[in-house]
Structure 1
Amino acid sequence: TVHIQRDRHLRLEEQSAVIGDVVSVPRPSSHIRNQFYIAYGDLVYTWRYPSVFIYFNFSPKGAVALMRHLTQQLNIIKIPFDFNVLYNPSSYGRYDSGILRIKKDSYELVRQVLQTVYAENESHFQTNVPIFTKVLAPGLALAERPEKEFRFLEGFGMNRCKIVANALMEAHQNGDESPEARMQYILKQFEQYGIDLERPYLNPGSEDIYTPLDVTNGVTVS
């Protein structure tokens, strides 16, 4: 339920609306869902493919700093996004403490913003990143939103782990449970879905356009 005040939240021509009328109400700029505080960009966008997830492994202080600086900069250059950060400080330690969703074709512009914001807040980042993602910098990684989802609104990590789980289940059902056999089943499952196991962060047939950041000590992450 959303509670509004006519004179503050409705356009002038809609302030005389009565029960049953349809009106336009600006959505809140942020809210909480599934342990995450979510900030939305100023530019409204209906999320469809292709979109990209960028994962942050940072401290609670880092989350506060990036929530302020990153969202400001992305709004300035008019990039649609949503930025999810864990709202409970005791939950941090996960490799995906923050998740930024953007359009694929806006990555290069976003990378330039990330380059500056990361350099200013590098001390807040841990080094590890989620499995199957592409490392952009220590504690910062990327993956494309899966084209093939096993269930509605399935995350990238769950999607790839489901493929591995299906492979291990098939190996078990066939009685082929040696490490070598299991790996062959995993390779077969990824191949079946058209995913390159050398670049599992990409969708089938997708080009790797995601240039990593240059870290602050001058070494390019590869």
Structure 2
Amino acid sequence: MDRQLERELRQIFDGIFIYSRESYSLGGHRVEVPPAPAEDPAAPAAKSRQPAPFVTSLQMMLYEHCYCRSFDPPLRGETLSPNGKSGDLLPKLSAANKTAERWDYGWRVAQFTANGMVYATKGGQSRIFSVGHLLSLDHPGSTPQPGGLVCALLAREDIISQPGFYCVQPQLSPSQDDHYSFIRFYWHITPEIAPTLVTEVTERCNRYGVPYSFKCLRYPAAYTRADAAVLYVGRRYLFLVLQLVEEIYQVVKDGLESRVPLFSKALGPGLGAAEDPASAGESFGLARCRAMAEAVWNAYGKRMQSEKARLAELAAAFTNNGWDLDKPHLSMGTEDPFPEHFCDRHYGNAASGFAK
């Protein structure tokens, strides 16, 4: 295991104390665990797959205070959430976005989602639309139906689906396979450099026809996270995207803070990377924080609260998920796709002036 990661994990595990199954503290802040939901006797199998309320509670606390931020006890306990009290970057982010909005023929409705959105495909592309952004070609003037051909409005941005974030819509949408193999690039940007990053990502990725997904925080006060901006690309495009990312990094690096998200691979100060977690319904950070919470819970079940016992349980949790603590940014036993020379150019050499 990387020594810096081990130091961070030991500090975090040392900062957790369990009083009971219903109460624990993280960094001196005491948390009461909400009661488990009522049991459904008709679905025992589904119930058995649900994590213990303790695990879910600790998972979210670890994500909020340890994954995307440096663990800095004592914690005050307030929720660190995006808000608009310090201003709104939306006008600048929107102006910086180089994606062109347009109507596009040839899309086919695959299905309607539970919240009334429409999942549609075109060739290898897949995308979620609101009904108002689709025109039925089979029955003009009527609501599109599953299997029907439509003309789709390809918007350039999305500020609805993820509150507090500005989401870029690309010129070319990722395929379903791309979504399952997304590589994440985490940018620890400041509010001042965010519009520049939006411009660099949209200009370069759109120019080379790279399907991608990108989001960054909308409100300046929320820029306390090591994952303030995230670029997602399918693994099949990684060779090209690594070159683009390095070019972008040279432009924005002076506007980045140094920390990267816990468990991600540091490609340079403020730039981290990780594979898709291969964990249904969870982001990379939530999946890793769940493993940490399970480690603490399992050690407690064995009447142990030492950091050593928790580290041992974390190693077991990683193994059970098909992960490796020596390469925690990877999933399912894959080879490391990030070349060492990329890191070497930005860490610990005279040319860069950085120290890892």
Give the shorter-chain TM-score range: 0.7 to 0.9
Matched, 1:24 2:151: yes
Q: 1:94 to 1:20 in 2, by over 3 A?
A: closer
How far apart, in 2, do the equivalents of 1:17 and 1:49 lie? Answer: 34
What is the alpha-carbon distance in structure 2 between the residues aligned to residue 178 and residue 60 of structure 1? 39
Aligned to 1:162: 290
State how far apart, in whole Å, the 2-side matches of 1:62 and 1:124 are.
6
- What amino acid maps onto 1:187 in structure 2? A
- In structure 1, how many angstroms separate the alpha carbons of the residues matched to 2:251 and 2:289? 33
CA–CA distance in structure 2, aligned partners of residues 99 and 195 of structure 1: 22
2:202 to 54, 71, 83: 71
Map residues 88-107 of structure 1 onto 2, 5 A cutoff: 88-107=219-238
1:180-218 CA-to-partner distances (Å, cap 9, x unmatched) read: 222211111111222110111101210002123533963
Higher deviation after alignment, 158-167 or 103-112 = 103-112
- Note the C-alpha offset of 1:221: 8.5
Change (3 A) 1:204 1:19: closer
Matched length: 213
**TM-score (norm. length: structure 1):** 0.86
The residue type equivalent to 1:164 in the other structure is M
> 1:218 aligned to 2:351?
yes
Summarize deviations over 1:39-68 as a string: whole Å, max 9, x none.
022112234321111100011121100101
Aligned to 1:138, which of 269, 290, 293? Answer: 269
Read off the aligned partner of 2:189 and give its amino acid letter: F
Q: TM-score, normalised by structure 2?
A: 0.55
CA distance in 1, matches of 2:191, 2:138: 41
**What is the percent sequence identity of the aligned residues?**
27
- Supply the distance in 2 between the matched residues of 1:176 and 1:143 (Cα, whole angstroms): 31
Q: Distance in 2 between matches of 1:28 and 1:202?
A: 32
Q: Is the 8 A contact 2:156 2:169 kept in 1?
A: yes
- Partner in structure 2 of residue 36 of structure 1: 165
For the 8 Å contact 2:135–2:141, the answer to whether it is kept is no
Deviation of residue 24 (structure 1)?
2.2
Aligned equivalents of 2:155, 2:331: Cα separation in 1 = 32
Q: Which runs of 5+ in 2 are unaligned?
A: 1-129
Bigger shift: residues 44-53 or 195-204: 44-53
Residues 210-219 or 183-192, more deviating: 210-219
Q: Which of residues 29, 51, 70 is equivalent to 2:182? A: 51
Structure number with greater Rg is: 2
The letter for the 1-side match of 2:330 is: L
